[in-house]
Amino acid sequence: MNTPQPLTLPLLVELAREIAEKGIRTLLGVTGAPGAGKSTVTSAIVSALGPELAVIAPMDGFHMVNSKLHDLNRRDRKGAPDTFEVDAFVGLLEQLKFQRDEIIYAPDFDRVLDAPVEAAIAIPRSVPLVITEGNYLLHNHGGWERVAPLLSHSWFVHIDDEIRQERLIKRHMSFGMSHAEAIAWTMGSDERNAIGVREDVMRADLVITLTQ
């Protein structure tokens, strides 16, 4: 298992800046268990570097729509590896790695609507650093094994489980779950997914624990 490195957000921003300022299209994958802080890292990077240097193309934009999940009887475990459109996600990464079109549009995910939003993110060919973040970037089965070879760099965000679970409970409640529902989802579906993600840490280039 890779040893976690205690790093600050400003240092991670500078590491990303060094990559971006080379001016070569690069895909950076930021992964980790649900609630680990992936969005915190990626948002800080894009905010600091600006839209000319970095953009996010999130894995969550490829959630299956709820109607399809109901049809497949997977709605009660939304967020598991087989509840994403992995083929479409891989296809987008392939386009972004070797981008020929002036602009490629990527989907985003609306947590309020609990649904993906098509063509929500414009990615110009001129932007050197494209960051994708999500739970399963380093999975090695179910079609996800095609993701890692497309990434130039992979960062795994690690955090204490108790803190991570507390974050998830608060997040779920902020989007309408009761306290009991949030605990049940966090300790059920989320935790099952987290156990699977932990197995991917050995494939990361850098394992991070965020410090002040």
Mean pLDDT, range 85-105, rounded to an integer: 98
Strand 206-211 relative to strand 5-8, pairing:
parallel
Residue 192 in any domain: the answer is: no
Chain centroid to CA 98: 20
pLDDT greater at residue 61 or residue 188: 61
One DSSP character per residue, 16-31 reads HHHHHTT-S-EEEEEE
Q: How many helices, marked H, and strands, marked E, lie in the chain? A: 7, 8
Is the residue at 171 inside a domain? no
Q: Taking residues 169-186, report their average pLDDT.
A: 90
The domain of 122 spans: 5-162+200-211
Residue 38 and residue 32 in contact, taking contact as beta carbons nearer than 8 Å: yes
pLDDT at 65 over 90: yes
pLDDT tens by residue, 28-55: 999 999 888 999 999 999 999 999 999 9
Q: 1 pLDDT exceeds 70?
A: no
Domains in the chain, number: 1
Q: What is the mean pLDDT of residues 127-134?
A: 98
189 assigned to some structural domain: no
Report if residue 79 sits inside a domain: yes
- Separation of alpha carbons 197 and 76, rounded Å: 19
* CATH number of the domain that residue 57 is part of: 3.40.50.300
What pLDDT does 212 receive? 58
